[in-house]
């Protein structure tokens, strides 16, 4: 594939190739190979119109470990603040010879538009409420490395599905790889039409306590209060009482089950601090795996040597 704009771009074989390549990248890092020459002479542009900590830093680290030249562009402080359009920004990057553009944008579909204007590969680093495919890949990688498989794995994705690009990409990718996804949350935060369009096999539940005992993975989503209207969200306390993962609730999980969160977290809202910092939590591991997975994505898209 040339671009990674959606987790739906990936069939099972391609997704598995990315995960296997990420495992090789991680093994090399574990053997103290800090830098590979694979993308020497290639240019990767990180084009971030929205804030990011994990994704932006890990794409930069991934490109540098592959010896690519990296240009970091943030909309703040650029000519975007003077009204320059995405298209004109893209043409400027094209003129500078970008081999890959990693884009985060508040508009759903921005990576698709961008791919019409640049010759290089486009990687979606999160577009609006639409998708975040490399997050889904690093989540799948983490599940596979902790639990040994994805096929048949029971994954509960919990919370603000309505506003979550992470949930959409995870539903697409995990369904492709044979996992059984159940979306859990209040009815106002689970868009049934969107879920049905994404996957025929994904289940929906409004009762977290009944889903936990039969889950191998519980993935807590950030409550995106900045995108909320009052009608979606009764109160933080009520949400936390019904859908927050605290220590008592965590005990309902089978012993082998893991707790995931893409970050950033609202500690005390969707996840209790004791749960986030517990041995079952893979939150820090997910961030570390993100570098290997993004190395694999850049390497495969750019045909690294
Ligand atoms: N998970 C994630 O996308 O985090 P950032 O917003 O910090 O990149």
Rounded to whole angstroms, the Cα distance separating 34 from 45 reads: 21
Rounded to whole angstroms, the Cα distance separating 179 from 201 reads: 10
Would you say the CB of residue 124 lies under 6 angstroms from ligand 1?
Answer: no
Would you say the CB of residue 133 lies under 6 angstroms from ligand 1?
Answer: no
The model's pLDDT over 147-188, given as tens digits with 9 standing for 90+, comes to 999 999 999 999 999 999 999 999 999 999 999 999 999 999
Would you say the CB of residue 169 lies under 6 angstroms from ligand 1?
Answer: no
Would you say the CB of residue 57 lies under 6 angstroms from ligand 1?
Answer: no
Please name the residue that has the structure tokens 């240009």: 71
Across residues 71-84, what is the average pLDDT?
Answer: 84
In this chain, the answer to whether the domains covering 7-131+287-301 and 133-286 adopt an identical fold is: yes
pLDDT at 228 exceeding the cut of 80: no
pLDDT at 247 exceeding the cut of 70: yes
- Ligand 1: residue whose CA is nearest its atom 6: 52
- Ligand 1: residue whose CA is nearest its atom 4: 54
Q: In percent, how much of the chain has pLDDT > 90?
A: 83
- 66-70, 197-201, 297-301: lowest mean pLDDT where? 197-201
pLDDT at 232 exceeding the cut of 70: no
C-alpha distances in angstroms, 119 versus 82, 95, 99, 169, 242?
25, 10, 8, 25, 48
pLDDT recorded at residue 231: 65
pLDDT at 107 exceeding the cut of 90: yes
Every domain of the chain and the residues it spans: 7-131+287-301, 133-286
Atom of ligand 1 nearest to the CA of 53: 7
ipTM: 0.98
Residue 205 token pair: 């539940």
Rounded to whole angstroms, the Cα distance separating 184 from 252 reads: 15
Atom of ligand 1 nearest to the CA of 57: 8
DSSP per-residue letters across 29-84: HHTT-----TTTT-EEEEEESS--SHHHHHHHHHHHHTT-EEEEEESTTSGGGGT-
pLDDT recorded at residue 31: 80
Model's pTM, two decimal places?
A: 0.96
Q: What CATH class is the domain 7-131+287-301?
A: alpha beta
pLDDT recorded at residue 93: 87
C-alpha distances in angstroms, 216 versus 146, 182, 230, 252, 286?
10, 11, 33, 11, 16
Would you say the CB of residue 278 lies under 6 angstroms from ligand 1?
Answer: no
What DSSP state is assigned to residue 178?
T
Known binding-site residue numbers for carbamoyl phosphate: 54-55, 104, 132, 135, 263-264
Report residue 32's pLDDT band, with 50, 70 and 90 as the boundaries: confident
pLDDT at 215 exceeding the cut of 70: yes
Instruction: State the chain's mean pLDDT as an integer.
Output: 94
Mutate to test the pocket of ligand 1, among 124, 262, 289 (most ligand atoms within 8 A of CB): 262
Known binding-site residue numbers for L-aspartate: 82, 165, 222
Which CATH architecture best describes the domain 133-286? 3-Layer(aba) Sandwich (3.40)
Helix (H, G, I), strand (E, B) or coil at 239: helix
What DSSP state is assigned to residue 281?
B
pLDDT recorded at residue 83: 81
pLDDT at 259 exceeding the cut of 90: yes
Would you say the CB of residue 244 lies under 6 angstroms from ligand 1?
Answer: no
């Amino acid at each position: 594939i040339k671009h990674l704009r959606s987790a739906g771009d990936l069939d099972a074989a391609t997704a598995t190739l990315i995960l296997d390549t990420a495992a090789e990248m991680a093994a090399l890092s574990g053997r103290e190979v800090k830098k590979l020459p694979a993308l020497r002479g290639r240019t990767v542009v990180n084009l971030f119109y929205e804030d990011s900590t994990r994704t932006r830093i890990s794409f930069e680290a991934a490109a540098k470990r592959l010896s690519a030249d990296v240009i970091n562009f943030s909309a703040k402080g650029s000519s975007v603040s003077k009204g320059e359009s995405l298209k004109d920004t893209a043409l400027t990057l094209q003129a500078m010879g970008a081999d890959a553009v990693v884009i985060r944008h508040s508009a759903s579909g921005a990576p698709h538009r961008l791919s019409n204007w640049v010759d290089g590969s486009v990687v979606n680093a999160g577009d609006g409420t639409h998708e975040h495919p490399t997050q889904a890949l690093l989540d799948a990688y983490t599940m596979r490395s902790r639990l040994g498989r994805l096929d048949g794995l029971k994954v509960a994705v919990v919370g603000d599905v309505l506003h979550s690009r992470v949930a959409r990409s995870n539903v697409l990718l995990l369904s492709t790889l044979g996992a059984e996804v159940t979306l859990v949350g209040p009815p106002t935060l689970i868009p049934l039409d969107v879920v049905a369009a994404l996957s025929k096999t994904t289940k929906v539940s409004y009762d977290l306590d009944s889903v936990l005992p039969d889950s191998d993975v519980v993935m807590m989503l950030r409550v995106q209060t900045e995108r909320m209207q009052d009608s979606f969200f009764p109160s933080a306390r009520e949400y936390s009482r019904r859908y927050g993962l605290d220590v008592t609730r965590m005990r309902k999980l089978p012993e082998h089950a893991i707790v995931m969160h893409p970050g950033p977290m609202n500690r005390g809202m969707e996840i209790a601090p004791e749960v986030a910092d517990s041995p079952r939590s893979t939150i820090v591991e997910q961030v570390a795996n993100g570098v290997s997975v993004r190395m694999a994505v850049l390497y495969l898209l750019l045909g690294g040597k």
